[in-house]
């Protein structure tokens, strides 16, 4: 290796990436202290359900409604067939590696979409998910969320490959389309909330690609992949007096109620990037977004006067880090959350200002499907927002700024997520 090549290696990124990976594996030793509900879920029903499927697959599948899980049984089916599920220890180690491979595939996608930065920089950015408290909680404890994130990132990998071919007028083969449909279907059988991704893929082919030789096979593949799920729903509704578990936790009225919280999640994960971009804001950009902010501010102020936000002051479950910080600062307080929600609204405007069609068919399903739930937990969005933005699924001027400043972006996000991790662990265990 010559001297020029050696000097071009971003040693700082390499060092901190290795440090993050080390922290990820060392943290596994102290997994009892991780935030979120994964430890409780695993001990209360996840491991029990896995063994039920191993011992009596048929009756477990038929009586799945009694297993206290709102998702499809795909996770338990896969886990019961997993050769590493013969003990809790090996199962957790397997899940730990699945979380690590999620980071690897994430890094591959970033490198696939970006030729202007080195692979080390892209993989350093990808490694940031390994210090996200809710991501590592699911990875350490082997709940369905950890496996779902792995399949989610695989779906993004194949989707990005197909998307690149379409944009370069290269014929997309049927096997590639089938793999994409198959992976997204498995993802749905693991976590039903990821239906937004399948819907996005379908809408992308219908409204953006508009090529019947791609769209028709896609719809046919999805139809055949949905048959097992439809059959299970038929059996469960026919066999039980009660509805499916998932239906007990969703309501259309929640969509509007949850919007301030969901938009605040976007602000939370974009905050470091916005801090970096402050010095690049010119007068024209400032005036434009000040108008957007003021418009939503007046609307929120009107709702505040009518006491329409009072429900935000009494969340026992969900609500996210910003709302919990509000409660720590002052009981029943939610003004910091409303401020972050306003910033989130400005971000939505930035996403929809350019590439409106591609971005709206991604953002709207996310807000709608996650808005249905009674408990809008932040771990549903971690690392979802990081995935869809860092991979370029949300193409906008902010993404172009991100690509041009990846070096400094990493150094801002690293301490931000480290502080988030430490604060989450401390609050979970000592407050």
**Residue 253 pLDDT greater than 90, yes or no:** no
Residue scoring higher pLDDT (264 or 36): 264
Cβ contacts of 88 within 8 Å, gap of 6 or more: 47
**Domain ranges for the chain:** 254-395
**pLDDT category of residue 284 using cuts at 50, 70 and 90:** confident
Mean pLDDT of 223-236: 89
What value does the mean pLDDT take over residues 264-283? 90
Task: Please give the model's pTM, rounded to 2 decimal places.
Answer: 0.93
pLDDT band at 248 (very low <50, low <70, confident <90, very high): low
pLDDT for residue 321 is more than 60: yes
16 burial (CB, 10 Å; 0-12 / 13-18 / 19+) is middle
Q: Is 297 a residue whose pLDDT tops 90?
A: yes
With cut-offs at 50, 70 and 90, classify the pLDDT of residue 244. low
Separation in Å, CA 278 to CA 304, 341, 405: 29, 18, 13
Average pLDDT, the chain: 91
- Judged by DSSP in three states, 255 sits in helix
Whether the predicted pLDDT of 161 surpasses 50:
yes
Residue 163 CB coordination number (10 Å): 20
- The answer on pLDDT for 30 being more than 60 is yes
Residue 4's pLDDT is what? 36
pLDDT of amino acid 236: 81
Q: What is the pLDDT of residues 363-394, one digit of tens each?
A: 999 999 999 988 889 999 999 999 999 999 99
């Amino acid at each position: 290796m010559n001297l020029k090549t050696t000097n071009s290696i971003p040693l700082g990124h390499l060092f901190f990436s290795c440090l993050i990976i080390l922290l990820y594996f060392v943290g596994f030793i102290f997994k009892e202290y991780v935030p979120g509900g994964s430890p409780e879920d695993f001990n209360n029903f996840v491991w029990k359900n896995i063994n039920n499927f191993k011992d009596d697959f048929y009756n477990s599948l038929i009586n799945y409604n009694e297993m206290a899980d709102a998702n499809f049984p795909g996770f338990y089916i896969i886990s019961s067939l997993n050769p590493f599920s013969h003990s809790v220890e090996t199962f957790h180690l397997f899940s730990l590696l699945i979380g690590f491979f999620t980071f690897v595939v994430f890094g591959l996608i970033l490198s696939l979409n970006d030729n202007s930065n080195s692979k080390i920089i892209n993989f350093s950015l990808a490694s940031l998910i390994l210090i996200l408290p809710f991501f590592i909680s699911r990875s350490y404890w082997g709940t369905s969320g950890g496996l779902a994130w792995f399949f989610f990132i695989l779906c993004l990998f194949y989707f990005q490959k197909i998307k690149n071919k379409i944009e370069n007028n290269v014929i997309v083969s049927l096997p590639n389309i089938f793999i994409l449909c198959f992976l997204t279907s498995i993802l749905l059988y693991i976590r039903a909330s990821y239906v937004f991704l399948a819907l996005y893929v379908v809408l992308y082919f219908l409204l953006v690609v508009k090529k019947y030789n791609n769209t028709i096979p896609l719809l046919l593949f999805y139809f055949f992949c949905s048959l097992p799920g439809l059959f299970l729903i038929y059996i469960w509704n026919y066999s039980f007096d009660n509805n499916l578990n998932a239906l007990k936790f969703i309501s259309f009225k929640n969509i509007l109620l949850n919007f301030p919280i969901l938009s605040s999640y976007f602000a939370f994960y974009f905050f470091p990037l916005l801090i970096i971009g402050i010095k690049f804001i010119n007068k024209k950009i400032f005036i434009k977004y000040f108008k957007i902010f003021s418009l939503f501010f007046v609307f929120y102020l009107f709702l505040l006067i009518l006491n329409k936000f009072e429900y935000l002051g009494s969340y026992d479950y969900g609500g996210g880090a910003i709302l919990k910080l509000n409660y720590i600062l002052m009981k029943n307080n939610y003004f910091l959350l409303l401020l972050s929600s306003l910033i989130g609204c400005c971000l939505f405007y930035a996403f929809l200002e350019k590439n409106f069609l591609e971005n709206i068919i991604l953002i709207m399903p996310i807000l709608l499907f996650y808005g249905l739930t009674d408990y809008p937990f932040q771990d549903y969005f971690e690392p979802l927002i990081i995935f869809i933005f860092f991979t370029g699924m949300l193409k906008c001027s902010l993404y172009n700024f991100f690509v041009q400043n990846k070096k400094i972006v990493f150094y801002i996000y690293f301490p931000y997520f480290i502080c988030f991790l430490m604060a989450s662990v401390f609050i979970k265990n000592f407050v």
